[in-house]
């Protein structure tokens, strides 16, 4: 009797491992892209974050702390929390509160280029080199908001909860980030036209 029960538990454990492996495989590339964008040039940190994300997610999955809905959002949230934790461990000021971007009202609503707007490119999830450069020019707090809300399409309320800030702060950071990206893209466009 005991042997049969052990075999059943082992079979169930193998099934759960296979289910999680399928989820991990499906979302690994997207998590790595997000991690690289969060970390900028620190590729090693990006890889570590994805690894830490899968370890934490696997433990949660085995403990039935994942309901099976929206695995991409669930993994991205774990990744974001891992990133924020790693940044806090590496320096006392994570930069998440300091965002001093000038608000240039002259550029707002004035996008008339053949290059897609930042919002259009981000929502498609495909980044050209200028979009990537504009994204990396953002302060960390804004870049994380853009990645979560615009790239991963996580609802603002969940982004706010993940970052531990009010939803108005998320909206504010997104507005500033989009404006800053627009300024950078216009500058890149001017440089390209002068070449």
Whole-structure pTM over 0.75, yes or no?
A: no
CATH fold of 11-194 reads Arc Repressor Mutant, subunit A (1.10.10)
How confident is the model at residue 68, as a pLDDT?
78
What is the domain partition of the chain in residue ranges?
11-194
Q: How confident is the model at residue 45 (pLDDT cuts 50, 70, 90)?
A: confident
Digit-coded pLDDT (tens) for 66-78: 877 788 888 988 9
Contact predicate 138/185, CB 8 Å: no
Digit-coded pLDDT (tens) for 79-105: 988 888 887 777 544 344 434 333 333
How confident is the model at residue 8, as a pLDDT?
57
3-state helix, strand, coil in the chain (%, to 5): 75, 0, 25
How confident is the model at residue 10, as a pLDDT?
58
> CB neighbours of 106 closer than 8 A, spacing ≥ 6?
none
Q: How far apart (Å, rounded) are the C-alpha atoms in residues 186 and 182?
A: 6
Contact predicate 145/49, CB 8 Å: no
Q: How far apart (Å, rounded) are the C-alpha atoms in residues 114 and 135?
A: 19
């Amino acid at each position: 009797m005991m042997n049969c029960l052990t075999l059943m538990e082992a079979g169930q454990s193998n099934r759960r491992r296979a289910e999680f492996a399928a989820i991990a495989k499906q979302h690994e590339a997207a998590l790595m892209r997000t991690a690289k964008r969060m970390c900028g040039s620190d590729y090693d940190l990006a890889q570590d974050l994805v690894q830490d994300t899968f370890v934490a997610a696997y433990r949660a999955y085995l403990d039935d702390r994942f309901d099976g809905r929206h695995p991409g959002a669930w993994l991205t949230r774990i990744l974001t929390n891992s990133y924020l934790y790693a940044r806090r461990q590496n320096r006392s000021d994570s930069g998440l509160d300091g965002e001093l971007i000038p608000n240039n009202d002259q550029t707002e609503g004035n996008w008339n280029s053949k290059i897609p707007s930042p919002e259009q490119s981000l929502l498609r999830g495909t980044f050209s080199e200028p979009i990537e450069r504009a994204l990396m020019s953002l302060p960390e707090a804004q870049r994380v908001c853009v990645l979560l809300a615009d790239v991963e399409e996580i609802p603002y309320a969940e982004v706010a909860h993940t970052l531990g800030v009010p939803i108005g702060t998320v909206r504010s950071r997104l507005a500033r980030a989009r404006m800053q990206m627009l300024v950078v893209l216009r500058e890149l466009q001017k440089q390209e036209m002068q070449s």
